[in-house]
Amino acid sequence: MVEAAFGAINLELHSGTHPRLGVVDDILFHPLARASLDEAAWLAKAVAADIANRFQVPVFLYAAAHPTGKALHTIRRELGYYQPNFMGNQWAGWTMPDMLLEKPDEGLSKLSRARGITMIGARPWIALYNIPILSTDFSVAQRVARMVSARGVGLPMVQTLGLVHGKDSTEIACMLLESNQIGADRVQNQVEMLAAEGVEVEKGYFTDFSPEMIIENYMNLTSAQRD
């Protein structure tokens, strides 16, 4: 999949409304079923070394895969992930220097403008939940995102980002770091409460499968292969 992505996408020719530092921007390993976090971290580090060696891409490790548990959002902030470089809050082409100031955990500091940077981590399950806001005023999404996030003294263990979403709406992209404690319903209610009067907030949606669905699909696949 990584090889196919690098073969299909050239970051210098790419533009979009979602921040990114690389073609394969982020790979996260979660321990599911009886797997441990240590096993997930070992696998993350092995994949990081393989990607760096095979594709000559700088790789930064985070969370349990990093020696000190460095957070993903910290690395992203240091590398300028959250700073759009094109009109209309877009990210276009490649604007970083050819050499990284900070040495990556795997690979060389020299960058490929076509491929960019990859970040790889391991941590317990994170739920990704996006909430559409029917407003073209991006400042509304930014304001609500800041107020909902833990960084903005909002909900604990919730990270958010305001995004442009099509021509007629924006959305709040939410990472629920402890979804068993702070779930999607609570985040949804908080966004609806904080949105300005007259701004319509739609029901949010998960962008990923649940752990239970992944395990079930895997078990069905292995069972079919045995048959």
Q: Active-site residue numbers?
A: 18
Asked if 143 contacts 47 with a C-beta cutoff of 8 angstroms, the reply is no
54: CB partners within 8 A, 6+ apart: 3
The candidate with the shortest Cα–Cα distance to 91, out of 7, 163, 3, 24, is 163
Asked if 66 contacts 121 with a C-beta cutoff of 8 angstroms, the reply is yes
Task: Give Rg (Cα) of the chain.
Answer: 19
Rounded to 5°, the CA angle 29-184-179 comes to 40
Q: How far apart are the first and last CA of the chain?
A: 27
Give the HSE-up count for residue 27: Cα atoms under 13 Å, Cβ half-sphere.
Answer: 23
Neighbours of 93 (CB within 10 A): 13
